[in-house]
Chain A
Amino acid sequence: MDFAIFLVQCLNAVQYGLLLFLVASGLTLIFGILGVINLAHGSFYMIGAYLAYALAPWVAAHLGGGFFTALAIGLMLSVAFGYLLEWGFVSYLYERDHLQQVLMTYGLILVFEELRSILVGDDVHGVAPPAWLAGSVPLGHVMTYPVYRLFMSGVCVAVALGLYAIIARTRLGMAIRAGATNREMAQSLGVDIRLLYRIVFAAGVTLAVFAGMIAAPVSSVYPGMGNQVLIISFVVVVIGGIGSIRGALLASLLVGFADTFGKVFIPQTAGILVYVLMAAILLWRPEGLFRTG
């Protein structure tokens, strides 16, 4: 493998890892701060992709907007959706043990999949990226790299920085960190835990939906797309340490590299590699790379 190709593979790995980070960050927030195992997180990703597909023609017809307008509307919808879902369903999960949470959210996956089938159908769809991002930059003589993928990576990095800024530098972030460390103490100090949890859950959902929406132009929209991303995001969250955004970022990049280079060098083991990585890291540090609390 020559150096130019190696660099391109690194670019591929980083881009895949950053997209994973977007999904995993929402999961680690929900997991770490609310203490809820949410198997339906992959469904939010799928909902985002289908939203991108469904909103595009509606937005074009009624609002004259394009991809970004659809994105904005999708984000507003998902915040509302996350809020309602927490209020109506997830808030009942806090008192329950992990097994019950796993099973109830597993039931939720089935419900979302079937609702999607009833409302939008089972066909495969594509979403067009905005025209100004649809080009490619040349890399060497044969290959080009799609501009949209670079855009995606840029957006993921921006989101990562934004998350860091919010959690480390704002009062909300402080309340979140306090709630993660010791819920009762935070409550007795006047933090409205119920509201906080609602906000965090809505944020987690929105991150996953956002990931689905911006990934839709490259990943296309099809039934079952949530399942694939779900397991991998759990692996990322566990490797990184539950509740740690930093950990999620590092772990996503690790997984991105393992998957990309694994595929190229040892194709038979490509599927296993990620899990071997997780098992190895957990045996070395049983609570992930960066534990919280």
Chain B
Amino acid sequence: MTVRRSALARVTLAAALCVVAVGAGAQSRIRIGFMLPYTGTYAALGTAIENGFRLYVQEKGGKLGGRELEYFKVDDESEPSKAVDNINKLIKRDNVDVVVGTVHSGVVMAMAKVAKDTNTLLVIPNAGARAVTGPMCAPNIFRSSFSNWQPGYAMGKVAGERGAKKVATITWKYAAGDESVEGFKDGLKASGGEVVKELTLPFPNVEFQALLTEIAATKPDAVYAFFAGGGAVKFVKDYAAAGLNRTIPLYGPGFLTDGTLEAQGAAAQGMLTTLHYADGLDLPKDKAFRADYSKAYKTNPDVYAVQGYDAAQMLDAGFTAVKGDVARRKELVAAIESAHIDSPRGMFTLSKSHDPVQDIYLRKVIGNENRVEGVAVKALADPSPGCRM
């Protein structure tokens, strides 16, 4: 036993020396660390994000900012309790220059803290937790996706414009749900309605029947729901099966119908949602992106792939400005802050708190697509309360 333990120390020392040696020899490549879910419920999203990122790099001939890249990956397992250790693997073991991740808000909270404490460049290609660009905001933390508040606000405005005066909301009781509903409330108030009932259930519980009955009893003009993944599939189907969709329109952010339409089938047809991406966008950049992605990965891209793609674009903007010298952090950050990102979703810029300032589209479910109907809100920026930058 003891032999094992002191052997452990020796092996570890040897490994550490190897890492140092490798690191010293590979100075010419920028080290990108992916911290994404490769297992669990969000595995499909993690894969899409990485695919989108790599597609952009491939378009640029395998380089960002003129330098070649080296990738490191850590599976975050969507497990917040291991997040600090996992991101430290990338930062301290692999000595990455940039961390790209992740999907789950609980994990990203831990990542943001470590990134802030170690001044590591972090680009978030999905998690919309407002805290990371709110109280935790920092010059080295960027987001290429959205904040939970944005799609909600847009939907609220649309709901009010369509005549909804009393609305019921339903979501999981966690930060993403709370922030989405808050955005909806703000938008709805701006167009003359109000939320009369806020229903929640513990995450990730998916027994909705009791609350659907509550909704029927409340008889609102409309319902706003935020769920994602398996929960979104079940909710939309349950809502239709309960007959509520005939009289009470169901609204939601795009996550309610993204990646879930095949599973939801007829239940989702005709639903209106808001998101910063849609199918059928008449943008040459989007058409090219979709064609390239399908060819490379044999499947259609989704909003997560776009966010991964744009994360690479944002980094490219920064790296190019400093000619690949990542040590010139201030200039790098300034370059990303002032960048105009030509995204498949449309052009977007970054707000002061480093969230995308982007158009939020209104989409309608037609067949297996979320077809764009129009722009719900143009150039929407999250006010990011609590950010002092």
Min Cβ gap A205→B in Å is 23
A to B contact number (C-beta, < 8 Å): 125
Q: A263-B201, A267-B201 are in contact. Are A15 and B43 (CB under 8 A)?
A: no
Closest to B37 in A: A122
Interface residues of B in 220-253 (CB under 8 A from A): 229-230, 233-234, 237-238, 241-244, 247-248
Query: What are the interface flags for A172-211 relative to B under an 8 Å C-beta threshold, 1 for contact and 0 otherwise?
Result: 0000000000000000000000000000000000000000
Cβ-defined contact, B210 with A261, below 8 A: yes
Number of residues in B with C-beta < 8 Å to the partner?
42
Which listed residue (B199, B242, B260, B263) contacts A144, Cβ 8 A? B242
Bound-state Cα–Cα, A218 to B205, Å: 14
Interface residues of A in 126-164 (CB under 8 A from B): 126, 128, 136, 138, 140, 142-146, 148-149
Which listed residue (A12, A122, A144, A271) contacts B209, Cβ 8 A? A12
Task: List chain A residues, Cβ under 8 A from B16.
Answer: none
- For B43, B44, B207, the residue with the greatest tally of chain A CB atoms inside 10 Å of its CB is B207
Stretch at the interface among A61-69, A219-227, A241-249: A219-227
Bound-state Cα–Cα, A146 to B263, Å: 17
Cβ-defined contact, B241 with A126, below 8 A: no
> Is B135 interfacial (CB 8 A cutoff)?
no
Cβ-defined contact, A1 with B217, below 8 A: yes
Closest to A143 in B: B216
Task: List chain B residues, Cβ under 8 A from A2.
Answer: 217
Closest to A222 in B: B230
Task: List chain B residues, Cβ under 8 A from A13.
Answer: 210
Task: List chain A residues, Cβ under 8 A from B193.
Answer: none
Instruction: Give the interface size class of chain A.
Output: 35 or more
Cβ-defined contact, B44 with A259, below 8 A: no
Cβ-defined contact, A126 with B44, below 8 A: no
Cβ-defined contact, A5 with B201, below 8 A: no
Cβ-defined contact, B210 with A264, below 8 A: yes
> Is A31 interfacial (CB 8 A cutoff)?
no
> Is B40 interfacial (CB 8 A cutoff)?
yes
Cβ-defined contact, A122 with B43, below 8 A: yes
Min Cβ gap A24→B in Å is 15
Q: A117-B43, A125-B263, A260-B209 are in contact. Are A218 and B199 (CB under 8 A)?
A: no
9 contacts between A and B (CB under 8 A): A16-B209, A113-B39, A124-B233, A220-B237, A263-B201, A264-B211, A264-B214, A268-B173, A270-B205
Q: Which residues of A approach B to under 8 Å, CB–CB?
A: 1-2, 5, 8-9, 12-13, 15-16, 113-114, 117, 121-126, 128, 136, 138, 140, 142-146, 148-149, 218-225, 228, 259-261, 263-264, 267-268, 270-271
Known: A16-B207, A124-B259, A220-B263. 9 other contacts (CB 8 A): A1-B217, A9-B213, A114-B39, A122-B40, A143-B212, A144-B242, A220-B233, A222-B233, A263-B201
